[in-house]
């Protein structure tokens, strides 16, 4: 009798498990159908020229992939790093879940994390075709990188971008709309050509271009209005917000260029790291000169030109001394900028 009850219990559990699996498969098929129809509708709304360009890009990508398969790509450290970078970039883009998609998944009863693993597994299949060892690396290390960089839950994340950065970064975006994006594209193009030609001098110039030009355009091209800066409430919070904004936006190109330099020019990687620190110092000089002479539009440009020229002369003549003097210089500029902003923005003039 006990054996019969045990068998019936296991049969009931098996039926419930099979039913749950069928429900999950049905919901996934519904999700794939809805996602496919929405993607197809978006594709129909794209202009014909964009469709043609997309077709050419997909055809070129397929041709490059078939060429690599026919060449039997060998497993090396460089090929593994390149494939890992490609996998992470594609994974971050393809595994991003919008708010409406999260609501749809919650309605269908589908968990986000298993669906994310399915997408990463499908994305790693072409790398397994290229090389089994490369496929294992991108499927393990690449998936961990995508999981750490991608917010897959609805809750809070410690890697979330600060709120004041999201609110105040309009300066950089507006400068990009006015032509700064093309300047970045040209800079990345010259950096890629320099890496292909193994020209470290040209790569250094393009690297500095990518770090400094967006900062220059944002602070001298689209200056902040007095009413907008007064909304920060205090000078300390204003400068803290702007410094975080400056650091993030200046280091974003470095996060792309430094791994590429480590792959193609590993000998010069320490040089590129020193260059990134030097050009970040130049960005800080742009920043402090802007608020040092606020609200003037001409004097910040003149002050930054004079200070940067004197710093370059000091670096050439006394490189060690210039390193020790950089911190006091930034401290003095910070103090003067604070006093200037307090006198301009936070002093109520009564008649």
Nearest to 341 by CA among 302, 303, 287: 287
- Percentage of the chain with pLDDT > 70? 79
pLDDT classification of 157: cutoffs 50, 70, 90? very low
Q: Are residues 336 and 245 in the same domain?
A: yes
What is the pLDDT averaged over residues 82-88? 80
Query: 126-140 in b/e burial notation, b at 16+ Cβ within 10 A?
Result: bbeebbeebbebbbe
Domain count, the chain: 2
Element (H, E) at 250: helix 235-264
Q: What is the DSSP string of 221-245?
A: HSPPPHHHHHTT-SHHHHHHHHHHH
Lowest mean pLDDT among 41-50, 139-148, 176-185: 176-185
pLDDT score recorded for residue 255: 83
Mean pLDDT of 287-299: 83
State whether 128 and 177 are in the same domain.
no
- Is 157 part of a structural domain of the chain? no
The span from the CA of 85 to the CA of 81, in Å, is: 6
Using the predicted structure, report yes or no on whether residue 272 has a pLDDT greater than 60: yes
- Cα gap 205→73, rounded to integer Å: 33
pLDDT digits (tens, 9 = 90+) for 113-145: 777 888 888 888 888 888 888 888 888 888 887
Token look-up 């002050």 returns 303
60 band by pLDDT with thresholds 50, 70 and 90: confident
Looking at the chain, the whole-number percentage of residues with pLDDT higher than 90 is 0
Q: The pTM is what?
A: 0.56
The verdict on 214 and 275 lying in the same domain is: yes
Q: Are residues 53 and 76 in the same domain?
A: yes
Domain finish residue from 95, 127, 149:
149
Phi, psi of 151 (to 5 degrees): -80, 105
- The pLDDT assigned to 63 comes to 79
How far is 115 from 94, CA to CA, in rounded Å? Answer: 12
Predicted pLDDT of residue 120 = 85
One domain, residues 67 and 202: no
Q: What is the pLDDT of residue 10?
A: 55
Indicate if 236 and 143 belong to the same structural domain.
Answer: no
Better pLDDT: 246 or 105: 246
For residues 146 and 169, give the distance between their C-alpha atoms in angstroms, rounded to a whole number. 25
In the 8-state DSSP scheme, what is residue 301?
H
d(CA 200, CA 203): 5
Q: What is the pLDDT of residue 349?
A: 41
Structural domain boundaries enclosing 139: 46-149
């Amino acid at each position: 009798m006990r054996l019969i009850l045990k068998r019936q219990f296991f049969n009931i559990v098996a039926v419930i498990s099979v039913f749950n699996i069928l429900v999950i498969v049905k919901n996934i098929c519904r999700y794939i159908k809805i996602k496919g129809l929405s993607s197809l509708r978006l594709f129909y709304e794209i202009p014909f020229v964009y469709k043609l360009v997309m077709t050419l890009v997909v055809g070129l990508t397929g041709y490059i992939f078939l060429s690599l398969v026919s060449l039997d790509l060998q497993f090396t450290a460089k090929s593994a790093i390149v494939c890992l970078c490609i996998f992470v970039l594609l994974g971050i883009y393809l595994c991003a879940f919008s708010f409406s998609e999260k609501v749809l998944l919650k309605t269908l009863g589908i968990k986000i994390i298993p669906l994310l693993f399915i997408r990463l597994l499908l994305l790693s299949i072409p790398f397994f075709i290229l090389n089994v060892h490369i496929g294992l690396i991108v499927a393990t290390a690449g998936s961990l990188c995508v999981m750490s960089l991608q917010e897959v839950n609805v809750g809070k994340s410690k890697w979330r971008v600060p709120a004041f950065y999201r609110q105040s970064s309009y300066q950089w975006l507006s400068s990009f709309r006015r032509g700064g994006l093309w300047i970045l594209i040209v800079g990345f193009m010259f950096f890629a050509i320099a890496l292909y030609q193994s020209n470290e001098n040209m790569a250094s110039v393009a690297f500095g271009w990518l770090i400094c030009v967006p900062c220059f355009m944002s602070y001298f091209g689209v200056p902040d209005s007095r009413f907008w800066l007064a909304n920060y409430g205090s000078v300390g919070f204003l400068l803290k917000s702007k410094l975080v904004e400056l650091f993030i936006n200046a280091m974003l190109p470095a996060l792309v260029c430094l791994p590429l330099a480590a792959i193609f020019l590993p000998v010069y990687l320490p040089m590129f790291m020193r260059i990134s620190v030097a050009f970040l110092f130049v960005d800080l000089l742009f920043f402090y000169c802007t608020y040092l002479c606020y609200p003037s539009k001409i004097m910040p440009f003149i002050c930054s030109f004079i200070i940067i020229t004197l710093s370059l002369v000091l670096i050439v003549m006394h490189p060690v001394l210039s390193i020790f003097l950089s911190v006091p210089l930034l401290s003095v500029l910070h103090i003067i900028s604070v006093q200037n902003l307090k006198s301009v923005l936070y002093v109520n003039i009564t008649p």
